[in-house]
Amino acid sequence: MKRKQLTPIALIFVLAIVLLIFYKPKTKYHTLHGETQGTTYTIKFEYYNRIDLHSKITQLLHKFDLSLSTYDSNSIISKVNRNEPHVKLDKNFKKVFNKANEIYHLSGGAFDITVAPIVNAWGFGSGQSTKVDSLVIDSLLQLVGMDKISLEGGVVVKQNPNITLDVNAIAQGFSVDVVADFLERKGVENYMVEIGGELKTKGVNEKGNIWKIGVDKPVENSYIPGENLQAVIQVKDMSLATSGNYRKFYEKDGVKYVHSINPKTGYPVMSKLLSATVMTRDCMTADAFATSFMVMGLEKSIMFLSDQNDIQAYFVYSDDEGNYKTFMTPGMKDALVREMD
């Protein structure tokens, strides 16, 4: 029997179907820059849909500020701090509060969002600084402790109405998670979301390589990120956050006061630990633990990490002679690309 030959039109039709099955539209990496939460952000992602995501991300971050920014008098957290009645808490506020409470207990109280009055008193918060002495600190310590506050029936319940909250040490990391989740819902498979130095990655960069992130050397008065690098870390489908005292501090009467406040003592931390870089799955957790470790100090942090498998850390500290030294967990050693001299 004679075989039937495909007509030119049929052949074109078959080729068209094959192309539709195997052809992947050429994607493009976009880079977005902007300002939020008193800092800047950079978002890089692969996306071929023509829908404008920048405006949607801007709206998302604005909504985030209306929930958790202590610098916005109309935000939910500001209303909670003023004890306004019938404040409706949104899901962002509840998630941050619950995670903060979790890390408060895990860190033995080193991480505490009720430390706001003392942070303000020292001049590092959104409130007015005061003349600090032991009597002031002892008084303010009565308002500190997450065991003095709870969520009950969707309402914040305080043991003392003067208790106020400051979530700056965790909210920025969570805002990274919020943007990353948004991108994933839009089908984005490769991205890097960075807000104020805290970041999350997924997939690969434009060159097809795993994202490589620089960790700044803790040099005092170094305000330009990336100007002096301490190390380069490969971040694959993980989050990274860094906390340090080399940028936020002030000197008065010859004494240097750093922004890491110990919630138990009410005083700025005096420690050899200069910076803590933490890698975890979600950026909210990384952000909170980076702050926790700066409060806990080098020895206690290393001891804490010995029992943790899901938290990787890179510490920069000074020895007795003032030289830079580093400590890395095993997982961070695997992710390390190189260290600088």
| 130-153 residues labelled b (16+ CB within 10 A) or e (exposed) | eebeeeebeebbebbbbeebeeee
Position 126 scores a pLDDT of 59
The three-state secondary structure class of 20 is: helix
| 313-332 residues labelled b (16+ CB within 10 A) or e (exposed) | bbbbbeeeeeeeebbbbebb
Contacts for 309 with CB less than 8 Å, ≥ 6 apart = none
Contacts for 1 with CB less than 8 Å, ≥ 6 apart = none
Position 225 scores a pLDDT of 56
Residue tagged 């030294």 (tokens): 325
pLDDT tens digits, 4-30: 554 555 445 545 554 445 544 456 899
- Structural domain includes residue 203: no
* pLDDT beneath 50: ranges in the chain: 1-2, 6, 10-11, 14, 18-20, 23-25, 248-258
Position 221 scores a pLDDT of 57
Going from the C-alpha of 77 to that of each of 64, 105, 287, the distances in angstroms are 11, 22, 19
Could you give the number of structural domains in the chain? 1
- Structural domain includes residue 152: yes
d(CA 339, CA 315) in angstroms, rounded, equals 12
Going from the C-alpha of 26 to that of each of 48, 214, 227, 265, the distances in angstroms are 7, 29, 34, 57
pTM (2 d.p.): 0.86
- Structural domain includes residue 31: no
Contacts for 161 with CB less than 8 Å, ≥ 6 apart = 83
Q: What is the CATH number of the domain that holds 89?
A: 1.10.3980.10
- Structural domain includes residue 326: no
- Structural domain includes residue 267: no
- Structural domain includes residue 107: yes
pLDDT tens digits, 67-109: 999 889 999 999 999 999 999 999 999 999 999 999 999 999 9
| Among candidate residues 112, 75, 117, the one with its CA nearest the CA of residue 93 | 75
Cα torsion 291, 293, 241, 285: sign: negative
- Structural domain includes residue 53: no
Position 19 scores a pLDDT of 46
d(CA 169, CA 90) in angstroms, rounded, equals 19
Position 257 scores a pLDDT of 43
- Structural domain includes residue 100: yes
d(CA 119, CA 42) in angstroms, rounded, equals 28
Q: Which domain holds residue 144?
A: 78-158
Amino acid letter at 39?
Answer: T
